[in-house]
Amino acid sequence: MKLHFSLSQMTCVNVPVNRLLNKLDNEHLETSSKVNLLNLDQQAMKAFFADMGEKAFRASQLLKWLYQQDIDDIDTMTNLGKALRTRLKETCEIVMPEVVYEQPSKDGTVKWLLRLTDGNCIETVYIPEGDRGTLCVSSQVGCALKCTFCSTAQQGFNRNLEVHEIISQVRVAVRTLGGGVKDGRAITNVVMMGMGEPLLNFDNVVSAMDLMMDDLAFGLSKRRITLSTAGVVPALDRLREVSDVSLAVSLHATNDELRNQIVPINKKYPIHELLASCRRYIADKPHRKVTFEYVMLEGINDSVDEAKELVTLLEGIPSKVNLIPFNPFPGTDYQTSSREVIDRFQETLINAGLVTIRRKTRGEDIDAACGQLVGKVQDRIRRSARFGVIKQVN
């Protein structure tokens, strides 16, 4: 696959991002009262045109321009007619986040740092593997959950991303990688596994995923979109009613005592409630499985006994297990489990009949691996200060 990088973008690779970000001036941010057309999924777009007294097919035309033709200039959308284009230009805009840098890794992984109009920055990562290209998309600026092994958590939390900020991550990646989104193209899969907890930004994430699946937009199949959650049970139950994307659950522990510590949202929604909700999620979906993510933390959750407990816990749930070697970041006391320990853990699960994949660590040289996405968050809950570590990518 051919990647298109300009020279100026490439030079960013060796520039400490801290310095780059410090140069960004937040005081000149523009606010706009116009409707960003990238904020509207098909339903919202139809309602928008209905409000204007226009026919519903206008929504289809506009979505195709935005996502299939990748056009941002309303004047280019000639089939809308001149009068409608003029009205649209008065009330609407098409605004994307600014690409601060685009950083390719040695293994083909690409990470983008995107600056939002309020000055916050988020990260998006592309991971090619064989005939599959997965885009890892962020859902929030930072994260309000406090998973102890995740560096995004240390950044604190600022706000939910708008629909346009989520779907723009796909547009930005498509522009770099070429070829659009669909089977056989650069991006074949999307995982909501970037910064943030997607189920805590429910409506916007659902709308953005709808656009990813919409044939008028990116047309990805529901199986190729995966939402990953730390386990917000009521929202997961709601998701079942409005969407049927693939589900990944960050389990990481086999008992509540440990999970309460490392995934604190477990205190609110303990393991048995979470697993019951997973069962409900796939109850009427034949052939679907829940992916359980399990980060391998040395001496914490990686014993053979825990592997056996995991087998017992997942009995009766069509599942896949994804073992993730812990990706370290500055300031953390955790270590990743050794290869032998992960092998033994995996073997125990496989021998019990569980499909178990060991996730390769990708994009390590650019801090693009799971839990290493940090962006630049104007922390509103002051967690970064409490941690005493304000880590930036560099």
Which residue in 314, 326, 363, 383 binds ligand SAH (CB under 6 A)?
326
Interaction residues for ligand SAH, span 107-166 (CB under 6 A)? 147, 149-150
Is 197 a binder of ligand SAH (CB under 6 A)? yes
Is 250 a binder of ligand SAH (CB under 6 A)? yes
- Residues binding ligand SAH: number (CB under 6 A): 16
Which residue in 121, 295, 300, 377 binds ligand SAH (CB under 6 A)?
295
Residue with tokens 């770099």: 176
Residue with tokens 């998309």: 137
Which residue in 38, 173, 236, 324 binds ligand SAH (CB under 6 A)?
324
- Cα pseudo-dihedral 165, 170, 175, 180, rounded to 10: -150
Region of 82-90, 91-99, 123-131, 225-233 interacting with ligand SAH (CB under 6 A)? 225-233
Residue of 80, 54, 55 whose CA lies nearest to 65: 80
What's the min distance (Å) between Cβ of 133 and ligand SAH?
A: 18
Which residue in 193, 209, 213, 321 binds ligand SAH (CB under 6 A)?
193
CA dist 337 and 155 (Å) reads 25
Region of 60-68, 73-81, 121-129, 323-331 interacting with ligand SAH (CB under 6 A)? 323-331
CA dist 273 and 284 (Å) reads 19
Helix H, strand E, coil C: the string for 184-214 is: CCCECEEEECCCCCHHHHHHHHHHHHHHHHC
Is 225 a binder of ligand SAH (CB under 6 A)? no
CA dist 68 and 62 (Å) reads 10
Q: Is 33 helix (H, G, I), strand (E, B) or coil?
A: coil
Q: Which two tokens stand for residue 14?
A: 């060796």
Is 230 a binder of ligand SAH (CB under 6 A)? yes
In one-letter notation, the amino acid at residue 118 is D
Residues that bind ligand SAH (CB under 6 A): 147, 149-150, 193, 197, 228-230, 250, 293, 295, 324, 326-327, 370-371
